[in-house]
Structure 1
Amino acid sequence: MRKNTICLIVWMLLLATATAAPADELLVLDNGQIRIGIDREKGASITWLSTRAYPKNMVNLADPGRLIQQSYYAGVRLDRTADGQHSSWNPWSWNPIQGGGVGSWAVATTFEKRGEVLYSETIPKLWDMPNEAAAARMRQWTSLEPDMPNVVSVRCEFQSMRDEHDRWGPARLNPQELPACYFTRNFANVKSYLGEGQWRTEQQPPGPPWGRAEPPLDAMACLNDANVGIAVYSPASDGHWNFGPHGKAISNDSFAGPCMHVAPLGRLKLGPKTTFRYRYWLVLGDESLISNSLDALIQKYADETIELEN
């Protein structure tokens, strides 16, 4: 039996036993090279990423604030202790989280596989409260990038439906996570992409607070010691990126506390009735494959911006 056939069989067996969520809670795209899954019980956030070279899950799932997910900020920071606000997140702004709030998970209201697209709608939770639904809706379209079998394309839409006279107030300029990404702690080598196969290593001690980087081409990667990992490409970002490790222990456990964080940031005024859309891409593989894929994506999508309706 040929070596590549044996590898493919091993890959398929590993995938058959790796997914923790029941089949009706996890929607998956799998082209034999990469696998991506979204979980109904975690707000349809991305909860699974793996490749044939690395069949374990790359995503950290330790709490509702991890995952790969939509996360936004608006209004003034409020002390809502009397309402049950968590003491660790006080005061805090209006912060709808796709995965859920402190101690509670969001559940997708629409959760469908439409051909080769994973489509979802979610009422997010406010991060600072134990179980408070946000007056908002998140939509997401997750697919594989055409002709790029190691690349995932994610289109996000956020609709704010707050009362125009609520206590968080009118639109203020805030940094938005485009998106918030948490990977397992073994993807500890963080690099900004410079183009044409060139990278810049980024250093940051365990946080938070997170480090700040300014990737010139809107792409950063988290790689393990075998030089395999994930790059995030977010051309809609317009400022620095947050990044860094949490915890010192190197772990490949998706449910462990230690993790790696990357968040492209874009500054915009998110008002009570704002709707906006953007896209980002996840690129999987070794450093060489990621470089080639990023060069192609940058050539095609460098002019992508946020679509904003106020």
Structure 2
Amino acid sequence: MPSQTQESSQKRLYLANDKIRMAIDLNAGGAITYLSEAGSNVNMVNNNDLGRQIQTSLYAGPYPYSVNGKNPVEQWRNLGWNPVQTGDYFNHPAQVVSYQQGQNTLYVKTIPLIWPLFNEPADCFFEHWIELKENTVHMRSRMTVNRTDTTQYEARTQEFPCVYLNGPYYRIITYDGLKPFTNDAVSEYSEQDNINRYGTENWIALLNTSGRGVGLYKPKGEVRFSSAGFGVTKEGGEFDVSSGYVCSQPALLVDYNGVYEYECDLIVGSLADIRQFAYNQPRPPAAPNYKFVTDRQGWYYGNTRDKGWPIQNELNVRWYRADPTAREFRIISPMAYWKASDVPKIYIQAAFQTKGTVARFVWRKPGDIAIIEIPGRYVDFPIIGDGQFRTYEINTSQLAGWDGVINQISLTSPESQYQFEKGSTVRIRSITATP
């Protein structure tokens, strides 16, 4: 097993105010390795190895990933191409290329390491901008990819970011109900299995027995989180195995030449502090409003591909199955929270180039294990396959099953249309709830 991170190897840069104190470590890829409340010398961040901390981790294919004669350790062979901000499984730290410190700000640029490989720099770099604001740490991250492997692999869920706190921070708390921003009762968990969470108020927290800890807030309506625990709950310090874990887990298609960004806030304090911060932020969109100008807006694909990065005013997608032995392909939205009553219509601005005449709009509701084409979850609509842009209107208010809460939407082709799929494409400019 790799050895633990030792205090003697630390090279920390601190920021502090009258509420909190935090630090990044230049010997741990510039990740956040220290976070405490003002007046306390108790570090909440777990540093058992270089896969912990508060950091960014990126995932893409192939699986397994080998390069330069190096093969992944068996335990992590199916992680694939996995750049980790802090370092690798063997406890080699990632290289900090540059950094800058201001009064309340930090900037760090890092070449991450491939987690399952021995001291292998990733073909990408990470940048992080950090700012201290009262009892919060605001972080913006940019990942610039420059792989020589130009294959477009399927999307993976990411860690944007992951948060590892010490064993005493074992209480996993979020709001995963269907009445967000109404002060409805929160949910508390302590399971140590890695479990997906539907955080409809856009936050998740790790708290101790006294009810204090750290909340992770994601803006722009991000609702997909995960949580886990390691070792023995309620005990342990920063170099011990015991840890609580939460992360923001959006699905992302990582291009060989792509550039990706996310933002988040870490709120230090009580559950009331964390939730109030979330309530003070702009409300997430109440309906789909995706316009594909410079990026995919979080959309991704199952069993199909697009033309790749950069995105220029449209998604240009193969309207057919990449693997024809598979049952279907999908063009898939990020997870969200929309009241069906707020979305009486869907408008799809698209140009289909196909001999097919029908497309399928599919939706998912909380409690569904996946996007599944069962009655009450889809509608077929006519398309014109001449390659010209049109706005297709779907009157969702008249559809059986379009009720309650909708948390994901997608486009596909019915099986009856597979005979026409060869060479078909669709170009999509927008998918919105208003014309």
TM-score, L = length of structure 2: 0.60
- Runs of 4+ residues over 4 Å off in structure 1: 19-23, 196-199, 236-239
Which of the two has greater strand per residue?
1
Which residue of 131, 139, 144 maps to 1:154? 139
Counterpart of 2:74 (choices 81, 87, 90) is 87
RMSD: 2.5
What do the CA deviations read for 1:249-302 (whole angstroms, capped 9, x no partner)?
Answer: 422401110101101111121011010111000001122222222211355xx4
Please, which of 93, 96, 102 is the counterpart of residue 114 of structure 1?
Answer: 102
Q: Do the aligned partners of residues 298 and 62 (structure 1) sit closer, same or farther apart at CA in structure 2, a change above 3 Å counting?
A: farther
Find the residue that maps to 1:285 and give its secondary structure: strand
Equivalent position amino acid for 2:225 in 1? W
Distance 2:197 2:40 in 1: 27
| Pairs within 5 Å for 1:24-103 | 25-52=11-38, 54-78=40-64, 80=66, 83-103=70-90
Give the 3 Å change call, closer, same or farther, for CA 21–107 of structure 1 in structure 2.
farther
SS of match in other structure, 1:91: helix
Who is 1:279 aligned against? 263
Provide the residue aligned with 1:6 in structure 2. Answer: none
Q: Is the 8 Å Cα contact of residues 49 and 57 (structure 1) preserved in structure 2?
A: yes
Higher RCO by CA contacts (8 Å cutoff, separation 6 or greater):
1
Deviation per CA, 1:159-188: give whole Å up to 9, x if none. 0110144xxx32421111111111111111
Cα separation, 2, equivalents of 1:79 and 1:44: 25
Q: 1:267 to 1:20 in 2, by over 3 A?
A: same
Give structure 2 stretches of 5+ with no counterpart.
1-5, 296-308, 311-435
Rate the CA distance shift 1:66–1:236 in 2: closer, same or farther, 3 A.
farther
Q: 1:298 to 1:257 in 2, by over 3 A?
A: farther
Structure richer in helix, relative to its length? 1
Q: Deviations over 1:82-138 (max 9, x none)?
A: 624212112331110000111121131112203421000000000111210000000
| Structure 2 CA distance for partners of 1:79 and 1:98, relative to 1, 3 Å | closer
Counterpart selection for 1:105 from 75, 93, 96: 93
- Does the alignment pair 1:242 with 2:226? yes
Equivalent-residue separation in structure 1 for 2:9 and 2:229 (angstroms)? 30
TM-score of the pair, normalised by structure 1: 0.82
Q: In structure 1, list runs of 5 or more residues that go unmatched.
A: 1-18
Counterparts in 2 of 1:254 and 1:85: CA distance versus 1, 3 Å: same
Structure showing greater radius of gyration is 2
Amino acid at match of 2:139: V
Matched length? 280
> Judging changes above 3 Å, is the alpha-carbon distance between structure 1 residues 262 and 174 closer, same or farther for their aligned structure 2 residues?
same
Partner of 2:125: 137
**Corresponding residue SS for 1:83:** coil
Asked if residue 176 in structure 1 is aligned to residue 179 in structure 2, the reply is no
